[in-house]
Structure 1
Amino acid sequence: MQRYLPDPFLFVIILTFVVFGLGLFLTESSPMNMVQYWGDGFWSLLAFSMQMVLVLVTGYVLASSPLFKKGLGALASKAKSPGQAIILVTVISIIASWINWGFGLVIGALFAKELAKKVSNVDYRLLIASAYSGFVVWHGGFSGSIPLTIATEGHFSQDLIGIIPTSQTIFATFNVIIVLALFLILPVLNRFMHPSKEETITVSPELLEGSSNLQAATIEKSALTPAEKIENSFIVSLLVGLLGLAFLVYYFVNSGFSLNLNIVNFIFLFLGILFHGTPRRFLESVLDAVKGAGGIIIQFPFYAGIMGMMTASGLAAVMSEAFVSISNEFTFPLFTFISAGIVNFFVPSGGGQWAVQAPVMLAAADALDVSYAKTAMAVAWGDAWTNLIQPFWALPALAIAGLKAKDIMGYCVVILFVSGAVISVGLLLF
């Protein structure tokens, strides 16, 4: 697998031309049409790209603070063997991703790094793959964009399906069973994938430490210039941090425990400012963090271009309709799940994918008399499922870990097939 999987940037270039070709052969689009769709969509994910950069940067900054490192280290110390480390990081990642997908992406990778420092002879590639594996549950959890969208007044499909509460999606019996099954199966699966001692690839704990000396503020106070005194002032960080915490109190009082990507980044950012103690330590941590953001910054516009071609050409609808044509009332949720998994490879955004697939899938569900809620969750699970082998979503975790996609992809493929079987059974039988 490592020999044949290209760098994620080359992968997205190859994917671009694959979608371009499919658009020409499977739709009525001309080459110039496809070029236009690609260019029109290219910058459509700029805001989201910045959010993902901040997922990486704020998560790294928080984790590199002395207090947070101590907490993660204490939890990592509970693992006494490589097998326990793999199980623990998988469990933490699943729980965190179920609560909020951005939180899960960052915490899983950061915790894996702490485990690598504490536990000897644990395979670092599998550790990071296990941390990423928990991400598969996100769309069945509190931050699932599709179930939250159809539970919101004024969503674009409301005229057809009305408002569907989360009691019929996130907290539906079939969805809870799928999440619990993955919670039990994935840690065991990951544990048994650990290679033999001879084939284990470890990493030196020293290499996992930040390159900057974040505790280097040991200059004599009398030697500091007025500007340096402000940069090294705890009072400045305290005031800014308290301002951020005041807004969070206001937000949660008025909105309840409603997490989104902006709020998660906000929490991480201001906790990072507080926990680092001084603006100088905080900024040095930020400088370390942004070194790993290059892949996100460059690749996300190309994925946006792919999304533009998929949606504007009608290619995503063609793929969806192909699966609808071979479905019946019993198999429809399964084929919806599989089609969503395929479409997700080209439209790796839950909200964007729902906009593309909802008109086709909901009309088919109506014709086959299949639950709208289950149809929506089948799309949601398909979207989450193939994220396991989609470098788009792995980029923040890989940047934190200092690995490439090919380092973890072999493990992720195994997890993909096993989790796909679990989700399929859940959609068919419950």
Structure 2
Amino acid sequence: MNQKQDIPLAAPSVRSFRGVVSGLVYLFENVMPDPFTLAIWLTLLVGAAAYCWAPHGGVLTILSSWYDGTFKIVGFALQMILIFASGYAISDSPLAQKGLRALAATASTPTRAALLVVPLVAIASWFNWGVGLVGGALLAREIAKRTRVDFAWLVAACYSGCAIVTNSGLSSSIALSQASHGNALNLVEKATGQLVPLSHTVFAPFVYIPTIVVTAVVTAIFIAIHPKPDRMVCFPKSADTESDTGAAREPASRASSFGARLDRSILGTAILVLFGASYLAIDWSTNGFNLGINTMILVFMLIGLVLQRTPIAYAESIRRAAGQTGAMLLQFPLYGGIMGIMTGTGLASVISSGFLLIATSATLPLWSYLSSLVITLFIPSSGGHWAVQGPFVIPAALSLHADIARTSMGVALAENVSVLLQPFWVVPVVAIAGIRIQPVMAYTSIAFLVSLVVYAVALAPVF
């Protein structure tokens, strides 16, 4: 079956490209440690850099900043986990699962799989990165059960489809925070008293056009780099036999009890949906339509409740989601500590100001993008990253009379790129899919190079 599905290999460039990918797979397999271990060493690296170059790089300042950052990120971490969990509940619903199985049945070759997963996951992630992240991992499993395809390649394609649009869409924490009145991270409002509506960021041509382009190009790249049949590592069939419920069995004596009937009654769901929908209707009619981080969590929670139908079904789905967030919970404090060091010692200002010193009003968005690429490797959460870099790029934009929306999104779009090399958000994907992270990131590094160029061109002064 597979001999008919691969694209021709006659072109030397394609053979060379696959040789590069094979080398990257070997490199990541043998060099890259576990993401938690990596975060530990990044903490040491940032601490050393702060000691050497930061304006306030004393040992006491480094340690106190690390401690403050470790626990200051807890509230934001919970928001991000709730976005992930609410997206999981939507993707885990019976209707969504039926759709995933139907979609997986159409991906009968690696080429068709790439044509399906990258654009589809990108679209889902544009609406909610949690839906795209979780749905992509679940879709990868469904496809791999039916089609002979390299599993690491497939998971990487799904994750890349999510990563390259996450901060270009409706769940972009940077875009949402600047559009939300009173948001703690709305640095534009604090400096100018004005909001930056989504029409100037997410729905602006300089954002949505390169997002479409990079999605198309990454799809083509993944078609080209699928391993040859003799090099494929397919989905282990034994992994499909495990139970994924994660819930305790209900005693037979409780099945017909009053409490069990309440659990299975859609009345509870209706009450919560009524509360949430009523609040949104009143808020949007009074203050106009707006989407903040908390609003997005509420919207997707309501959608998940409707799709899961009963309170107990939704609760069980969230429990399954919680089982995939352990690594995220482990890493958030470490990256919060890194963020604290970079902020408290002034290291982030050294990095940002180094780029901003050579910027003009026309080039500031591009320099914000390039500096963001560096900072994102140490602070992979876009909201936390914005808290570090935003206080430097927004005053610079005001001083240079640069486009604030483009400057802000320069920071955000770099997140779309750097997370393809930063393993923080890959962890829940590989946990759901059931695969090691190293071979997956070998493929996402190729998507990194592609998206790096496309988004840089979109922010270049000529455009």
TM-score (norm 2): 0.81
Amino acid aligned to 1:191: I
Q: Give yes or no for contact 1:146–1:350 (8 Å, CA) kept in 2.
A: yes
Matched, 1:395 2:430: no
- 1:244: how far off? 3.1
- Could you tell me which of 427, 440, 447 is aligned with 1:415? 447
Structure 2 Cα separation of the partners of residues 56 and 264 of structure 1: 13
Matched, 1:246 2:281: no
2:4 aligns with none
Matched, 1:309 2:337: no
Closer, same or farther: CA 86–267 of 1 in aligned 2, 3 Å:
farther
Q: Give yes or no for contact 2:126–2:166 (8 Å, CA) kept in 1.
A: yes
Closer, same or farther: CA 57–205 of 1 in aligned 2, 3 Å:
farther
Amino acid aligned to 2:188: S
2:355 aligns with 323
Closer, same or farther: CA 201–264 of 1 in aligned 2, 3 Å:
farther
Local SS of the residue matching 1:170? coil
Closer, same or farther: CA 71–54 of 1 in aligned 2, 3 Å:
same
Which stretch of structure 1 is more off in the superposition, 394-403 or 4-13? 394-403
Identity of aligned residues (%): 33
Amino acid aligned to 1:333: P
1:70 aligns with 98
Closer, same or farther: CA 4–268 of 1 in aligned 2, 3 Å:
farther
Structure 2 Cα separation of the partners of residues 116 and 384 of structure 1: 26
Amino acid aligned to 2:301: F
Alignment of 1:6-405 (within 5 A): 6-27=33-54, 28-55=56-83, 57=85, 59-60=87-88, 63-118=91-146, 120-134=147-161, 135-153=163-181, 155-158=186-189, 159-160=191-192, 162-205=194-237, 207-208=239-240, 210-212=242-244, 224-226=252-254, 229=257, 233=261, 236-254=264-282, 255=284, 256=289, 258=291, 260=293, 261-263=296-298, 266-267=301-302, 270-271=305-306, 273-274=308-309, 279=312, 289-405=321-437
Q: Give yes or no for contact 2:181–2:195 (8 Å, CA) kept in 1.
A: yes
Amino acid aligned to 2:405: A
Structure 2 Cα separation of the partners of residues 346 and 338 of structure 1: 14
- 1:67: how far off? 3.9
TM-score (norm 1): 0.87
Closer, same or farther: CA 272–32 of 1 in aligned 2, 3 Å:
farther
Q: Give yes or no for contact 1:59–1:268 (8 Å, CA) kept in 2.
A: no
Structure 2 Cα separation of the partners of residues 133 and 329 of structure 1: 32
Q: Give yes or no for contact 2:69–2:341 (8 Å, CA) kept in 1.
A: yes
Q: Give yes or no for contact 2:91–2:134 (8 Å, CA) kept in 1.
A: no
Q: Give yes or no for contact 1:52–1:296 (8 Å, CA) kept in 2.
A: no
| CA shift digits 1:295-344 (9 cap, x unpaired) | 12222111111111111111111100111123345443222101011111
- 1:17: how far off? 0.4
Q: Give yes or no for contact 1:125–1:408 (8 Å, CA) kept in 2.
A: yes
Q: Give yes or no for contact 1:126–1:408 (8 Å, CA) kept in 2.
A: yes
Closer, same or farther: CA 402–47 of 1 in aligned 2, 3 Å:
farther
Local SS of the residue matching 2:275? helix
Matched, 1:2 2:29: yes
Local SS of the residue matching 2:351? helix
Structure 2 Cα separation of the partners of residues 259 and 76 of structure 1: 33
Amino acid aligned to 1:26: W
- 1:227: how far off? 6.0
Q: Give yes or no for contact 2:61–2:344 (8 Å, CA) kept in 1.
A: no
Structure 1 Cα separation of the partners of residues 272 and 301 of structure 2: 8
